[in-house]
A and B are shown apart, each in its own frame.
Chain A
Amino acid sequence: MPVEALLRRSLRDVADRIDSQPPPWPPGRSTQFDDADEHRVGIRVLAAAGAICLVLVAGIGLWLIRTNPSGSVPTDGTPAAPGPSWVGNTLATTGVTNSSIAAPSTTVVSIDAGSSAISIGTLPPDVVAERNPADGSALLGDVGAQFPVLAPARVDTDLTFDPAVGGAPITLHVSFDEICVRRTAADGTGGGACDPNTDPHYVETRVGGGDTVTPVQVLLLDSTVQVTSVPGSCTFSLVGTDPANRLDLWACTTTDTATVEVDLQAPGADIVRTYIQGALAVGPAS
């Protein structure tokens, strides 16, 4: 039996055995939801809001104590010593942070091996989105992330695009045409577009183009870099040994608005998730 027929029949047979009845709609609401229930819900909401306020006040108080332990206020006109930035503070206490950065800014995340110290900074935008003249798709360029790897460190990234155009419902169309990872050499060379013919430190995966069926390709030119890719998401694992190594992610997408979600994890550290989101200034195809 052809595998197509076997698959079709098995899926149909198993589906027929799943007799899942829809629960009442709307979910989680009793048909006996009366005024008393509403009153109780209101009290619970108020109690929850009060608890959140208490936690916030306590958190702000602790933060103030940490930034100015003596409690003294400078009176000689000198500014108070700056406290930790919100990024650093968050990382120091929880190891997890979120940041929204308008494209095409570039996020720099450095991971120091052997500790959970992770810092996130922002580089000024130096590359704008441009349209690929070949097929009109938008090239995100530096709207990816550059990860200076202070080796030996491990970077796991999960890259997805969520177009949310004009306030329409986010349908999570996960799509990209090309993802490549390029190591930048210690002397700074290796920039520009990914080109296997000119860039010796070059790793790329292609997951399709037009109607051309193109299997995922991994051009592995450095044994310390391992790349796997599937359409819609990518998982990169990089184990670097050269402190000058830098992992650049480049992505092409056909959408004008994209969310890049990057998860980073250092040994022994929590996942740091960074969002880079914004409408890309995409010009006409040249």
Chain B
Amino acid sequence: MADRSFAEFYAGEYAGAVRLAYFLLGSLHAAEDLAQDSFIAIEPRMSRLDNPLAYLRTIIVNGASSVHRKRLRRSHAVAPMFADRFVTPVEAELFDVLARLPYPQRAALTLRFWCDASLQETADLMGCRVGTVKSLVSRGLERLRTELKDVM
């Protein structure tokens, strides 16, 4: 794939990449960093990729997972998630629950309900089995349902 194609891909998918990373990390600054790193990683391999968007999302999901693991090790230094201006007070409660979900559950919910990925696509992106995705989504929704029952 020529450079121009990558430029088009970059221009067309950057915003989506940042948004996906934002939902996984809860910080716009960290999301933009991760999106940039992901595009840098994908550029030299672009010509060999059949589905660059799926590859980009895989890099973001796994990159966010790495960030999450580092946060766990330095839990005292973690900034609050979704504290940006993008989340209104009405949505704050939902995103607060989302932020407290285990990372795999948050990733599965984001891929399913924002990227509209199928169970199989979500499993491919997360590198796990469809059954695992079903379990993650089910448990994530149940947690949201339980903690937001007064809101809904």
Q: Chain A residues in contact with chain B, CB under 8 A?
A: 1-4, 6-8, 10-15, 17-23, 25-27, 158, 169, 171-175, 177, 207-215, 230-233, 235, 263, 271
Contact = CB atoms under 8 A, between A and B. Distances in A.
Nearest to A209: B131
B128 A25 contact: no
Nearest to A14: B86
A205 to B, nearest CB: 12
A214 B110 CA distance: 21
B114 A8 contact: yes
A18 B19 contact: yes
A8 B18 contact: no
Contact of B127 (A2, A6, A18, A232): A232
Contacts, number: 142
B145 interface: yes
B76 interface: no
| Interface magnitude class on chain B | 35 or more
12 contacts: A3-B152, A4-B113, A14-B23, A14-B87, A15-B23, A20-B19, A174-B128, A207-B128, A208-B135, A233-B69, A235-B72, A263-B73
A20 B18 contact: yes
Given A7-B144, A271-B73, A213 B138 contact: yes
Nearest to A19: B15
A171 B129 CA distance: 16
A20 B14 contact: yes
B7 interface: yes
Contacts of A175: 127-129
A12 B110 CA distance: 10
Contacts of B104: 230-232
B32 A231 contact: no
